[in-house]
Amino acid sequence: MTDAQDVPRFLNDVTPERRHREAAVLNALFQEVTGWQPRLWSGSILGYGTYDYTYASGRSGTFLATGFSPRKARLSVYIMPGYADFGHILTDLGKHKTGKSCLYINKLEDVDMQVLKTLIRAGLDDLATRWPVVPT
């Protein structure tokens, strides 16, 4: 995680222009849903909230509670920790692909923004049943 002051610079530098606009929309949406300020992770992920985890293997760390990355090819939305089945929400979302903890969206106009808000909230609620989530 980096300093919050890096966030405006990161958002300003997002390209192409469509991704720049989508990043601004997603930043506002995540702030609305979470009530938290973003922090920059790994130089290209905006994260909202954090959680400390310890796996059965003993591996532990701190990671973002939810967030997104405006990658050039597609938007990556992080729904942590990726254990819950959100199929009932995803059926109404619109065009997307999924990974373990990621949702991939080609363009925001492909998805229902209200459903995306519901998904973000559901992911945070699920995460909070496993580990305490700390606001940023």
How confident is the model over 64-95, as pLDDT tens digits? Answer: 999 999 999 999 999 987 767 898 999 999 99
* 16 or 83, higher pLDDT: 16
User: 77 and 68 in contact (C-beta within 8 Å)?
Assistant: yes
Residue 89, sorted as left (phi over 0), alpha (psi -120 to 50) or beta, turns out to be alpha
Percent of the chain exceeding pLDDT 90 equals 81
Average pLDDT over residues 57-64: 93
- Single pTM value for the model: 0.92
Residue 55 has pLDDT above 80, yes or no: yes
Q: Which two tokens stand for residue 8?
A: 């405006």
pLDDT band with cut points at 50, 70 and 90 for residue 2:
low
| 65-to-6, 49, 79 alpha-carbon distances in Å | 19, 5, 8
If one counts every other C-beta atom within 10 angstroms of the C-beta of residue 27, the result is 22
Look at residue 10 and tell me whether its pLDDT is greater than 90: yes
Helix (H, G, I), strand (E, B) or coil at 61: strand
User: Which tokens belong to 6?
Assistant: 């890096």
Residue 6: the pLDDT is 87
**Four-way CATH pick for 6-134: 3.30.70.2860, 3.40.50.150, 3.90.1150.200, 3.40.640.10:** 3.90.1150.200
Percent of the chain having pLDDT more than 70?
96
Q: Across residues 26-48, what is the average pLDDT?
A: 96
Residue of 100 and 57 predicted with greater confidence = 57
Is the pLDDT at 106 greater than 70? The verdict is yes
CA–CA dist 92, 63 (Å, integer)? 28
